[in-house]
Structure formats: structure tokens, C-alpha cells
Structure 1
Amino acid sequence: MANVIIVLILVVAVVYGIYNYVHHLNHGGGCCGEHDAPARKVKAADTNKSHYLHRLVMGVDGMTCQNCQRHVENALNAMTDTLAEADLSAQKVTVWTKADADEDAIRQAIRDAGYLPLRTTEKE
């Protein structure tokens, strides 16, 4: 009888482990949104960089994975007349705008996404 109980406990543990592994694959994991599905990419309405007259490069603290990078890009690409590309390894985001960049609005969008905007390193 004791052997049956031990086998049942092992089977339950294995099934639970498989369930958690499959759930992690399907719903993402890691630092941001561990229990959420991976963020879908939001594309800017206009992806041609030559249409944008202004460029701003800003540091972003808190990006630790590609999902974080996508969250920052999505927050900025959802803004009107804005195109953004985040660089995870450099911890920076490059933002192109058609009108003069509203740095305060860009900083707020990054904060709203859950990250900390740092100093602006380039502005054209």
C-alpha cells in the first residue's frame, strides 16, 4: 500500500511539472508579465523612417528581456506620428517623430509601460 501512495505522489508531481512547463511556454514568463501572454508587437502606422524629421535617443532602465523591449516599443509606437525601436543590449530607445518630439509625453509613455526613462543622449 505504501508503494502505491509513493507512486501516486510521483505521478502527481510529474503531471504538475509538465503542466507548469507547458503553461510557461504558452503564457510567457520571466521578469515582466510572468503570468501574461507575450506582448504582441504594435506597429507604427508609418514605418518608413525617412518620413520622420526628428530623432530622439533615450536611456531606459528596467528592460531585461525581449518582452520588456516589446513593451517599450509598443507604448511608443501607439503614439501618433511616432516610430520607436528599443535596443535591449544598450538599454536605449530610439524614437522618430514627424513633429518636434514631445519629450515629456515620450517619458510618460515609457513610465506607463512600467520602465524608467533616463537621460536623453541624442536629439535631432
Structure 2
Amino acid sequence: MATVIISALLFVFVLFACRSAWKRQRNGCCGNDIQRLKKVKIKGDKCRDYPYRSLLHIDGMTCQNCARKIENGLCSIEGVCATVRLDQKEALVRMKRPLPESLLCGAVAKAGYTVLKVDFLPQSGHRSL
């Protein structure tokens, strides 16, 4: 009797594992369609006009949904415009005014990812990285 119960539990576990793997294969690691995850719109000026820049090196990004979550988290901060590069595992953050590293790292952490390193870049006029 115990063998039957254990076998049934293992079967249910394997069934859920296969279902999860199938969803990730179909929809990406985050399980959402990229079309459902809208990009946060930046109010006001164009991003290239923001003089302060930081480069965040981020751990845990594996798909475009991950990148969009991080980008939205950073862009939701007032005076911030961010662009995430999934292939390089980094985010270029442009700011109207200098912001503390902890604020930027907190926005990334709230999205569910980890900032490994923050590089503060020299101020720029209208040049892009």
C-alpha cells in the first residue's frame, strides 16, 4: 500500500514538473507572453537628454521578459530612463539628477533580480553609450 501511495505522489510531482517545463519552453522563463508585459512610458524629456548615467551589471536575467521587468522597475523611478541589454546582462540607466546606488539596486531587487556591480559613468551631453 505504501508503494502505491509513494508511486502516486511521484507521478503527480513528475506531472507538475513536466507542465512547468513545457510552459517555460513555450513562454520563456518568466511564464508570461512578452506582449502582456507593457513597457513603462517615460514622461517628459527624451532619455538622451538625461546627463547622469550608470551601468548596472545584473544577475538572473534569462529572457526578454526578465529584461522588460527590470527596465520597467527602473523607469518607474522619477527622472530615470533605462535600457536593458539582455545579451550583456546589464542596464544602462540615465538620470536627470544623480541618484543613490541603493535606489537603483532596490528597484532591480523589487523586480526579482540582483545587481552585481554599479559603474557610474561620466556625464554626457547627447552621446549614447
TM-score by length of 2: 0.67
What amino acid is the match of 2:47? K
* Segment of structure 1 superposing worse, 89-98 or 112-121: 112-121
- One of 90, 96, 99 as aligned partner of 1:98: 96
> Bigger radius of gyration, 1 or 2?
1
Partner of 1:70: 68
Match of 1:108 in 2: 106
SS at structure 1 position matched to 2:53? strand
Structure 2 residue aligned with 1:56: 54
Q: CA RMSD in A?
A: 2.2
Deviations 1:34-76 (A, max 9, x none): 1677311112213513421100001011111111110000001
Structure 2: distance between partners of 1:66 and 1:42: 15
Where does structure 1 differ by over 6 angstroms across 4 or more consecutive aligned residues?
none
Q: Distance in 1 between matches of 2:75 and 2:98?
A: 16
Letter in 1 for 2:37: A
Task: Determine the C-alpha separation between the residues in 1 that align with 2:98 and 2:65.
Answer: 28
Amino-acid identity (%)? 32
Number of equivalences: 98
**1 CA distance for matches of 2:63 and 2:33?**
14
Secondary structure of the corresponding residue to residue 107 of structure 1: helix
Structure 2: unaligned runs, 5 residues or longer: 1-18, 123-129
What are structure 1's unaligned runs of at least 5 residues?
A: 1-19
CA distance 1:35–1:43, change in 2 (3 Å): closer
Give 1:80's match in structure 2, choosing from 70, 78, 90. 78
TM-score by length of 1: 0.70
